Every structure is written in C-alpha cells, then in structure tokens.
Amino acid sequence: VDWDEEYPPQMGEEYSQIIYSTKLYRFFKYIENRDVAKSVLKERGLKKIRLGIEGYPTYKEKVKKRPGGRPEVIYNYVQRPFIRMSWEKEEGKSRHVDFQCVKSKSITNLAAAAADIPQDQLVVMHPGPQVDELDILPSHPPSGNHYSNNYSNEPDPDAPSPAV
C-alpha cells in the first residue's frame, strides 16, 4: 500500500484495523462464506454486522488540481472484503457512557448515615494476621546449593565455584 502522506485516501471508520491475510481474503471473497461468518458473529453476541466487498485504496495514481487550487488525489482501488461490527450488547444503544451526579433524596452525610444503622446490623471486620512474603522465605539457601532460585538449572554467577 503506497499512500501519499500529505493526501491519505478517505477511509471509513476512525477506529478500524486492517488485517492483511490471504487466507481471510480467499474465505471472505465468496458470499456463502460471508453469510456463515455473519451468523457465527451474531451467535457470539455482536451487533450491526456488515460483511461485503468494497474498494480499498492501494496506491496514488495522480494528483489533479481542482478549481480554486485545491488538490484532488486519485488512488487506484482494488476490491477487498470487509467486516464491520459492534460489540454493543443491545441494538440501538450507544457506546457512549454518560456519568451523572444524582443528588440523593436521603442522607448525604456519611457520618449521619453510619449513625442511622441499627446496632444488630453492624458488621465488625477483624483483620487477620498479616504475613509478609519475605517472612516465609528461608534466610539462607541450603548449603551445597550453588544454583539460583530461578529453577532453570543455570549456575548462579555470584556463587563460589564448587570444590573439585
């Protein structure tokens, strides 16, 4: 693909991924395979699935000057299969998430809320004994072992050489 850096071709989606695969190209070239793939994607919960063949820009053929001095770039297009889909769980729902601050009609003060809990519903958490990982490890490796603890059977370069 030889695209001009100053004048890249018009591409559809802002967040698209191009996969160069001869096997996928050969598979999606046929309408029957695209239909099977679409049904599998639907079964897996994807929405707004579109499969087809469309023109894909490969290289810049020429640059024409339009009236007013604006350049128009002409690209050579080849027919390539495409897949578009959405991970949305429900049809017609936006992928955009709105976060709103909703004022509570009940107690807004945490201290007042804590004082409002009946005593029999209070849950007291007692922390368990804390053990540091380093407390469990032996302080010195067993004698006669000149290998590191990396279990790779590689000699430790800092260990003294064994007596022969």
Domain spans of the chain, in order of start:
22-86
The tens place of each residue's pLDDT in the chain, 164 residues long, gives 566 676 666 665 566 677 788 888 888 888 899 999 999 988 888 888 888 888 888 888 888 888 888 888 888 888 888 777 776 655 555 555 555 555 555 555 555 555 555 555 545 555 555 555 555 555 555 555 444 454 445 555 565 655 55
Task: Please spell the DSSP secondary structure of 52-77, one letter per residue.
Answer: EEEEEEEEEEEEEEPTTS-EEEEEEE
Separation CA 23–CA 142 (nearest Å): 56
| pLDDT for position 35 | 92
| pLDDT for position 100 | 57
Question: Can you say how many angstroms the Cα of residue 52 is from the centroid of all Cα atoms in its chain?
Answer: 25
Closest by CA position to 42, among listed 83, 95, 93: 83
CA torsion sign for 36, 38, 39, 44 is positive
Contacts with 33 (C-beta within 8 Å, 6 or more apart), sequence order? 27
